[in-house]
Structure 1
Amino acid sequence: MGNNQTTVPADPPNPDVKKMTPPPECPMHAAASQSTQDRTADSHLSRLASVPSECPMSGQGGGQALIPQQPESDINPDNRMPPPNQQPAPDQPFILPTERVVSSIPKAGTEGERWVYPSPQMFWNAMLRKGWRWKEDALSPDDMQNIISIHNANNEQAWEEVLRWEALHARECPCGPKLAKFGGKAKEFSPRARMRSWMGYELPFDRHDWIVDRCGKQVRYIIDYYDGGSVKENFQFTILDVRPAMDSFGAVWDRMKVAYWRWTTSPPKHTSKEELKLSKDFPEERQKV
């Protein structure tokens, strides 16, 4: 996603999608005086690499990058990415579209603005910057369009999961949450992911941390990405484990409530209408607990 809103919709992707492991999320303004909660959230983003894995690929790119990396001063602090590059690479075998699609995810610090997904050309350049060589994979224009579609679908799916959690705070934030920042932590497994691994489950192939603006309060969400098998017609193949990071008592309490609902499906009598609706959605995800 980015700030430049060229919003011409991309052409429909080829339905004959082959199984691939595309880059996950690309799925994120702090006030002059931050609360302790804000500083906690920002401290996690400050540990990210200067050029993170949020848009192109989940793992660390090997080899020497074909496009020089941008200096740290050029990195956008909101999405940890350099300025958009819509120019074809020197050895690029075909022309890629430069149109970008506007997401459904509201952007914090703005009125009515939404995050914008990268174009196929931007995605290609980002992959090269991470050390990828197109000659090794021989991607076609249709492949790139499918990768973009999967990437965008993953973002939308992750935001839907965030909104389900944020429904717990509908009274606190009636105007709704907005996405402030995001970054990739592909090799920094969460405690929950490690515990699942000790129990015999696979580790996630990627992890992202999203900083959500809840009407002035910054809340960090952890998103683990697991391989869900073949790509579906809606371009969703990833199993997402989305939950608020346990950075505060409120986040811990939210997770305790939802864990209780998942296993009992019977919220207490004093549960609000928003929480009651949320409790009906969460039990189907018991396998994540």
Structure 2
Amino acid sequence: MASPDQQYQDLCARILDRGDERIDRTGVGTRSVFGELVRFDLSQGQVPILTTKRVYWKTAVREMLWFLTGGTNIRDLLVNGVTIWSDWPLAHYRKTTGETITQAAFEARIVADADFAAAWGELGPVYGRQWRRWVDNAGRAHDQIATLIDTLRSNPTSRRMLFHAWNVGELDQMALPPCHMVYQFHVDGRGRLNCLLYQRSCDLFLGASFNWTGASALLLMIAQQAGLTPGELVWVGGDVHIYLNHLDQVREQIARVPRPVPTMRLARHPASIDDYAIEDFVVEGYDPHPPIRGDVAV
């Protein structure tokens, strides 16, 4: 199996070579292909944290831990130094109020003022809400993560072990409809937990490295809680694209020589899926190339 960086570079090259240029929702424009698949073997501890540019893996893991809390307000992220969700509420605030506030000032006010955060930091019923508190039309809340772990323990050959966030009735209330939509799980005959992640839309330069890192951390946590060992992470992308303002950055990244694949392990065994903290994740052997900057298309 090719390394994560090699699979990533090959995918980038395919999009640069034969991607369809199109104007997208953001107005920035993309070069896009449809229907891609990559596979990562996590069974020996290696994880797809890319080395051809520095990936801030703790940010990706903190985001995943936030999803698992069911949170929907950026204040919880900002107090932990995670700013990757600020663009959408900031754009909404500027458009609604006409105030030309900087991102740093907006984030500082969210952290300092709980009432301001409640008014302007909400993202709507995004990932965590759907994963942990999907409310049906009878008013009952469904914890998809808890149900998944229970099923892995009691019926590991089930073909119904999945969770998703594409709640059609609430999409228009979300700051951003879910991109990484469906996570399906499978236990093989050796007690290894495999995960297939379907992502409907993928910003390959900025998003993929975070999605792969977060999904790897999730797989490790769920495997541990279910008494299994990590297996394979299979990622399927629908519309996989490079924004036109990232083309030069991508060309720079795919020209770099990949370095050894890092490993990730859990330092302890928390009592439940709700008890993990960033300190529980140990990444070793990570020696990446320098970061490459790019603007988020909102």
TM-score range, shorter chain: under 0.3
Q: Could you state the TM-score of these two structures normalised by the residue count of structure 1? A: 0.26
Instruction: Compare relative contact order (CA 8 Å, sep 6+) and give the higher one, 1 or 2.
Output: 2
Q: Could you state the TM-score of these two structures normalised by the residue count of structure 2? A: 0.25
Q: Which has the higher helix share?
A: 2
Q: Which has the higher strand share?
A: 2
